[in-house]
Amino acid sequence: MPLYRDEAVVLRTHKLGEADRIITLLTRQHGRVRAVAKGVRRTTSRWGSRLEPFTHVDLQLAEGRSLDVITQAETLDPFHARLGLDYDRYTAGTVMLETAERLVTEEKEPAVQQFLLLVGGLRAMAGAEHPAKQVLDSYLLRSLSVAGYAPSFDHCVQCGVEGPHRFFNPSAGGVLCASDRLPGSATPAAETVRLLGALLVGDWPVVHAADPRHLREASNLVSAYLAWHLERGLRSMAYVER
Ligand SMILES: [Zn+2]
């Protein structure tokens, strides 16, 4: 079987047979890959915790007929160990993993930007520099953008006139001017719209200065925007307080 190397983040695992697991990975060069880890559920497993969700690993894989097989794994960053100590960061991180899996839809189609975004997002989530909820919101807006659903928070998505605009509609893809507004649009505070723009580009000084009420409103709109673009909701989102 031909071998290849890649680095990856472990997104999810599930049981296979008596002692094995199928590991769903987001790799740097091969996009989303599902691969078998043999013997990983034995107590004497040589894999240790290297193939747990969140772990950033360097891998060697053997190409299989249906699923590839992991032959070597070395931990680059044990995000699991760092996130596991903080419930908010852990649950928000779980939403990131599920989002990455859902937005990278094709197996073995390179998705370098999504990979880099996920590693950067997990690093920010594991650090203490920014609040967990805003790291999550920023990641969600950016991963949706990379997937082709970039929201607009300044120009009206219908006519392109520059804002600020008061109306926000997930189905339209962002803010709308007064003449193009759709029924049922949200009317967030001007500060919330500005905050959403800051989360999208990672303008952290604006995020840190924001009022809690605007942070909450922004989180709800990000959730609505994400829900609109995913066919079914994220299971993991239920554990994140919005
Ligand atoms: Zn307009």
pLDDT tens, 113-155? 999 999 999 999 999 899 999 999 999 999 999 999 999 999 9
Cα dihedral across residues 230, 84, 53, 111: positive or negative:
positive
Q: Backbone phi, then psi, for 149, in 5-degree steps?
A: -115, 50
The proportion of the chain whose per-residue pLDDT surpasses 90, expressed as a percent, equals: 85
Q: What is the distance in A from the centroid of ligand 1 to the CA of 175?
A: 9
Q: What is the distance in A from the centroid of ligand 1 to the CA of 91?
A: 37
Distance spanning both ends of the chain, measured CA to CA: 47
Q: What is the distance in A from the centroid of ligand 1 to the CA of 181?
A: 7
Q: Backbone phi, then psi, for 132, in 5-degree steps?
A: -55, -45
Q: What is the distance in A from the centroid of ligand 1 to the CA of 195?
A: 21
Tokens of 120: 């950067």
- Banded pLDDT at 18 (limits 50, 70, 90): very high
Q: What is the distance in A from the centroid of ligand 1 to the CA of 1?
A: 57
According to the model, what pLDDT value does residue 241 have? Answer: 76
Per the model's pLDDT, the better-predicted residue between 140 and 83 turns out to be 140
According to the model, what pLDDT value does residue 234 have? Answer: 87
According to the model, what pLDDT value does residue 127 have? Answer: 92
Across the chain, what does the average pLDDT equal?
Answer: 94
pLDDT at 20 over 90: yes
According to the model, what pLDDT value does residue 218 have? Answer: 98
Average pLDDT over residues 204-208: 97
Q: What is the distance in A from the centroid of ligand 1 to the CA of 130?
A: 34
Average pLDDT over residues 101-117: 95
- Say what the pTM is: 0.94
Block residue for tokens 């989360």:
199
Q: What is the distance in A from the centroid of ligand 1 to the CA of 213?
A: 27
Query: What are the tens digits of pLDDT across the range 150-179?
Result: 999 999 999 999 999 999 999 999 999 999
According to the model, what pLDDT value does residue 226 have? Answer: 94
Tokens of 22: 């199928």
Q: What is the distance in A from the centroid of ligand 1 to the CA of 170?
A: 15
- Banded pLDDT at 43 (limits 50, 70, 90): confident
Backbone conformation region of residue 3, classed left if phi is above 0, alpha if psi is from -120 to 50, else beta? beta
According to the model, what pLDDT value does residue 232 have? Answer: 78
Q: What is the distance in A from the centroid of ligand 1 to the CA of 222?
A: 21
Q: What is the distance in A from the centroid of ligand 1 to the CA of 114?
A: 31
Tokens of 159: 């006519």
Q: What is the distance in A from the centroid of ligand 1 to the CA of 101?
A: 34
d(CA 112, CA 94): 20
Protein residues within 5 Å, CB atom, of ion ligand 1: 156, 158-159, 177, 180
